[in-house]
Chain A
Amino acid sequence: MAVTTRTGDAGTPTPTPPRQAGDGRGTGRAGDVGVNVFSHVVLLGWTVMVVVPFAWALLASVKTSPEIFGSPWSLPETFQWSNFARAWDKGVGQYLLNSVIVVTGGVVLTMLFGSMAAYVLARYRFPGNRVIFYLFAAGMMFPVFLAIVPLFFVVRNLGMLSTYQGLILVYTAYSLPFTVFFMHAFFRTLPTSIAEAAFLDGCSHTGVFFRVMLPMARPGLLSIGIFNVLGQFNQFVLPSFLSPEKPVLAQGIATLLASQRYEGDWGALFAALTIAMVPVVVVYLLFYRQVQAGLTSGTLK
């Protein structure tokens, strides 16, 4: 591709002045088309690499085990919808319920406490403000595995192993760093004049936060909210140590894979995978702008 472009350039002795978009660029029409075809071929290549595994898994969820391995590329003879019923009976229904309860609680608490802390840190000056902010921000960098063994005993001593409240509180605590960091930046960009007007009208600090600032921060809350829903729904490391007896869906999938290695019911395994994938993909397709913005903004300082 580099060659194509260079040849094109060499064939154009005088640089063309910039023109409106839509024009060629002085490389010549043929070079343009060549570059275009090349990039589409390469990009489509990776698209296939991404899509095929997922599509194949979806297809496998309605096939029998012999079909999955015997004729991996063909459609099933009859659609095996019973795979889903068997997956449900193998505990997927319960795992899904556990996930939904924990994620609901976790995200509500994360958003509430995360934006409260971020707001105070972003809009009020008091001694220790910077220290607390950096304490939260530092949590984004540390490896969870440094803490996992002591964390297990903290949760056990509180009597919260394999409980909803235990997972909800731990999820919240581990989601705070990024949420605080993100909302901190967001609250800083909001104008002060409206809050000042509310103060003059006799609104309390708490009132200003809930009635003025939170509604104004809605776009930020949406981004970080979706980020937290996906992040907590996909959480695997924390529950696999802290909630062995009340598995969430991600753990359940891993357990099912392990048990299919001798049970051999691969159709049910892929049905379970489909149940785990579809809600996430739907959320992603509905909100993909916010998801991409939310996920990448953390890395872009």
Chain B
Amino acid sequence: MRHGQYRFIAGFLAVPLVLYAVFVISPFIQAFYYSMTNWTGVSPQFDFVGLQNFQNLLHDSLFLRAVRNNVVLLVAMPLLVILLALFYAFLLNVAGRGSGAGVRGVRGSGFYKLVFFLPQVLSVPVIAVIWAVILDPTPTGLANSVLRGIGFGSLGWLADPNLALYCVLWVLVWGSVGFYLVLFNAAMSSIPRDLFEAALIDGAGRVATFFRVTMPLLWDTIQTSWVYLAVLALDVYALVAVMTAGPGGPANSTQVISLQIAQNGFQFGRAGYASAMGVVLFFFTLLIAAIMLRATRRERIEY
């Protein structure tokens, strides 16, 4: 019996583990190794160069530009998405007609959730194409025609180096709010009703209930969301690759780390150098997760 059990376990784990090891774990480990070589990706020969690639990265103005853009997204995107999603979740839950105790929800909240979530299920290229055309810089572009309609002039949108990154940021936020709305909403519905009833007895209004009862109980979810959104902002690729001119333009105003990895690794024949960028990205991710989990740590509330 015992022997048979181990054979069964091994038999069930073998294929998934081999697949995972070959296509996921080994490339991750190789990336760390290649990051210390001058491998071109073309020739089978390469030398071990130690930390040279990382030193070069420090003086690579294009890469630093990409890091700076990633940091802008990293700070702004999670903040905007969480604020908007919380605000909408608040409206859905707290402002409901006769929401005697907490989470009854506004009429039609199912419909709102259905619609808000929609961008999440469509592929990024689809979204990128739609927005690339909407944000057409010509005066007849859709966004510009709206601006004209309300009495403003045309903008350059994705063609304007000062604006392009914010267009990317907007599309990221636009696509993510629905997901986090549904997430926060689910977390809110798992809060026991008696807590809201108790708050009500104590004379708390809607706003007070939201900030004093709901928010603290949601803190864990918000914190996890923050980490996920930060990883998303660091990993952004498809949107920039499809939507921006170049991609990464105009004038490198939308360069991001992932784009630099793709260009160095596959176009410029600098596989080792690109791997070094990947390693930087990895430690960035780790650092962000650690900081967020630490900085936002609060006493956990069990209920």
B45: chain A residues within 8 A (beta carbon): none
A176 CB contact (under 8 Å) in B20, B134, B182, B285: B20
Interface assignment of B79: CB less than 8 Å from any CB of chain A = no
Number of residues on chain A facing chain B (CB within 8 A): 115
A169 CB contact (under 8 Å) in B8, B19, B186: B19
A253: chain B residues within 8 A (beta carbon): 123, 125-126, 129, 242
Range class of the B interface residue count? 35 or more
**B-side binding surface: helix, strand, loop or mixed?**
helix
B112 CB contact (under 8 Å) in A36, A43, A235: A43
CB atoms of B274 and A23 under 8 A apart = no
Name the residue on B nearest A123 (C-beta).
B9
Query: What 1/0 mask marks residues of chain B from 267 to 289 whose CB sits below 8 Å from any chain A CB?
Result: 00001001100110110010001
Closest beta carbon of chain B to A172's beta carbon, Å: 6
Name the residue on B nearest A238 (C-beta).
B23
Interface assignment of B155: CB less than 8 Å from any CB of chain A = no
With A147-B31, A266-B133 already in contact, the answer to whether A50 and B100 are too (CB < 8 A) is: no
Measured CA separation A277–B96 after assembly (Å): 33
Closest beta carbon of chain B to A146's beta carbon, Å: 4
State the total of A-B contacts with C-beta under 8 angstroms.
308
CB atoms of A2 and B207 under 8 A apart = yes
Taking CB atoms and an 8 Å cut-off, the chain A residues in 122-161 that contact chain B are 124, 126, 132, 135-136, 139, 141-155
**B residues engaging A (CB < 8 A)?**
4-6, 8-9, 11-13, 15-17, 19-20, 22-28, 30-31, 34, 41, 87-88, 91-92, 95-101, 104, 106, 108, 112-126, 128-134, 136, 138, 140-142, 145, 174, 177-179, 182-183, 186-187, 197, 200-203, 205-207, 221, 224-225, 228, 231, 234-235, 237-238, 241-242, 257-258, 261-262, 265-266, 271, 274-275, 278-279, 281-282, 285, 289
> 17 pairs across A/B with beta carbons < 8 Å?
A25-B200, A39-B106, A43-B88, A47-B115, A54-B130, A113-B15, A136-B20, A145-B281, A146-B281, A152-B265, A180-B16, A233-B123, A250-B124, A257-B128, A292-B182, A299-B225, A300-B187
Instruction: Enumerate the 3 nearest inter-chain pairs by beta-carbon distance, A residue then B residue, closest first.
Output: A234-B123, A15-B203, A173-B23
Given contacts A57-B130, A174-B23, A236-B124, 16 further A-B pairs with CB under 8 A are A16-B200, A17-B201, A19-B100, A23-B100, A43-B88, A72-B142, A73-B145, A135-B20, A141-B289, A145-B261, A169-B23, A176-B24, A236-B123, A288-B114, A295-B182, A300-B224
